Chains A and B, each alone.
Chain A
Amino acid sequence: MIKHSQLKQISWVIFFSAFVIIILAGIGFLITTNILFLGFSDFMYYLQKSRTWINIATTIWTASIATVLSMFVGIPVGYMLARYKFPCQKFMETLIDLPVMVPPAAVGIFLLGLFKTFPLSSATSILGIKVDHALSGVIVAQFTVTVSFCIRLTMASFKTVSPRYEYVGRSLGASLPYAFFKISLPLAKNSLLVALIIVWARSCAEWESLMLFVGGIQGRTDVMPFAVYLDFVGGKLGWALTTSMFCVLIAIVSMYAVHRIGGKAHVR
């Protein structure tokens, strides 16, 4: 015989589960309807086209370079913000957060202004670096949008590691860099890996700033989100849908990796 309290508890579980099912069904519905709309034969046709794979490869390598650059800057800045207190810290954090809060399109416009004026305009022309309508511009845009995001994530990663480990290490004779590389970095490894994946996935998804800063030229700067837009505007809906499927696939693989790694305390 089920008691009244047990019945109440079961009804609550059903009530909450219903929302989870609605969300999962919604996502499943969204993907399957689009696959059906596209059709399996069309999907296979687009898969055989080299342009699809060039877009995927371009996205992966530009996002990877942007992620490496973001982590290269994000790790020391995130560590500083997590460990030390200094004057104007809140103001500095606000400035760092700006690219997260400002629309990516506005970031693109600002980048355009930055590279069209002195000193960067002169520096790029002297060094022969071309950012508009070039993949180097894609990397700059991806980096600019994701770096503050990266700093936030690395800061949170270092905050998960108690500073006492470093204190002990330093009292044992380790210099600050030695303690950082041998203690803090390995202990924050999992969270940093999660940060890296999220930043990479975000870089893969960036396009608004690219559109304004770099400009889209098919076959040159069309990373996946850009290709989706260009194909849609050009009326190639099937191609746009196929590329979108890969965007979803990248997001699913990334988030799965985040959940798998994020659940572990640390990596030995």
Chain B
Amino acid sequence: MIRVKNLRISLSSFVMRNINLEINTGEYFILIGPTGCGKTVLIETLVGIRKPDSGEIWINNQNVTSQFPEERNVGYLPQDFALFPHMTVEENIAFGLKARRKEKKYIQSVISNLAESLGISNLLLRYTQGLSGGEKQRVALAGALATEPEVVFLDEPLSSVDENNREILCNELKEIHSRFKTTFIHVSHSFEEVSEMADRIAVINNGTVEQVDTVENIMYHPVSKFVAQFTRTKNIFEGTTNGNEILVNENIRLTTKYKTTGTVLITIRQEVIKILEESKESKESKEGYDNVFKGKIIKLAKRNNIVSIVIDIGIPITIYTMDYELVERIKSKSIVYIRIPIESIHVINV
């Protein structure tokens, strides 16, 4: 387990404060946040490249805060992997073992096992220039895994990879993680890129950790407007409430499962809102469904197999759907009905 307690790191004009994290052994943990939020600074501090002002870093019940990187037993893969260009693939993989003065026989067996396992046996005698993004990733991981680290830190490993190969490399990373069962801590600025890989995510904003949770909880139960926006929640509104009804824009009443008072922020994921077809609409209204609204389609666009529909019900509601037949049926209509499930409305006290 990796524990970070009240960490404070300062760089000339930028400060990261109150960083508290608990990362379980074998977990695929992702540190996510916009550019300049401090993700790389944090990972460099965890690796041992930077010293924190205060706080503690524990790796497997050992306080490593004041230890050098070479004493922490971690693996580190920076952006573009930083493979040593003056060494062959084999020498790159062997580097950590040679630095730890392991026996030649042992080094050879580790190299051949890892190379076979990661499908890079044919690359061992090649230099690292000219390797593809995927090959570089596998070589870098082989080098990091050769020393059997407690944790592997990956700093935006997909940032220099083109769009077409990103998904392949994501799957490969996840697959390698599940095979080796080592703790992976992966830094990224793109929620879409890593949401399918993570066991848990920490969202970092402006030097602080805003939320640590599973992908689903972060998407459906964000703790702040920033987290909601960062996870691409399209429907974020301010409203007032007294009980379990929220008044948005003075004329839209939303029923929620939360009971609270005062000004609140509500977030509704665009994937969970239902478009009701005419026949169903009347039936569902009669049966007393809450949060059924009549609205006008104001925008309809298809992007990456997902159709985004914006419906004005007094407030603009964005809906994502992959039901192309439904889209075909409703796109000629000016008025449609939608239903916002009660459980999908998340309330944040402002």
Contact = CB atoms under 8 A, between A and B. Distances in A.
B237 interface: no
A164 interface: yes
A172 B143 CA distance: 8
B84 A174 contact: no
Contact of B85 (A164, A175, A182, A187): A187
B243 to A, nearest CB: 54
Interface residues of A, number: 23
B86 A175 contact: no
A173 B44 contact: no
Contacts of B68: 170, 175-176
A8 B265 CA distance: 64
Given A162-B82, A175-B99, A268 B70 contact: no
A220 interface: no
A265 B129 CA distance: 11
B49 to A, nearest CB: 5
Interface string B264-301: 00000000000000000000000000000000000000
Interface string B39-56: 000001001110000000
Nearest to A169: B95
A172 B82 contact: no
A266 interface: yes
Nearest to B78: A164
Contacts of B227: none
Interface string A158-171: 00001011011111
Given A167-B49, A172-B143, A268-B127, A183 B84 contact: yes
A162 B49 CA distance: 14
A178 interface: yes
Given A167-B44, A167-B47, A172 B75 contact: yes
B77 A168 contact: yes
B186 interface: no
A186 interface: yes
Given A175-B99, A178-B99, A182-B95, A168 B76 contact: yes
Nearest to B143: A172
A167 B69 contact: yes
A167 B77 CA distance: 9
Nearest to B153: A171
Interface of B: 44, 47-49, 68-70, 72-79, 82, 84-86, 95-96, 99-100, 127, 143-144, 147, 153
15 contacts: A167-B44, A168-B82, A168-B84, A170-B48, A170-B70, A171-B47, A173-B73, A173-B100, A178-B99, A182-B95, A183-B84, A186-B86, A187-B85, A187-B86, A265-B85
Interface of A: 162, 164-165, 167-176, 178, 182-183, 186-187, 189, 265-268
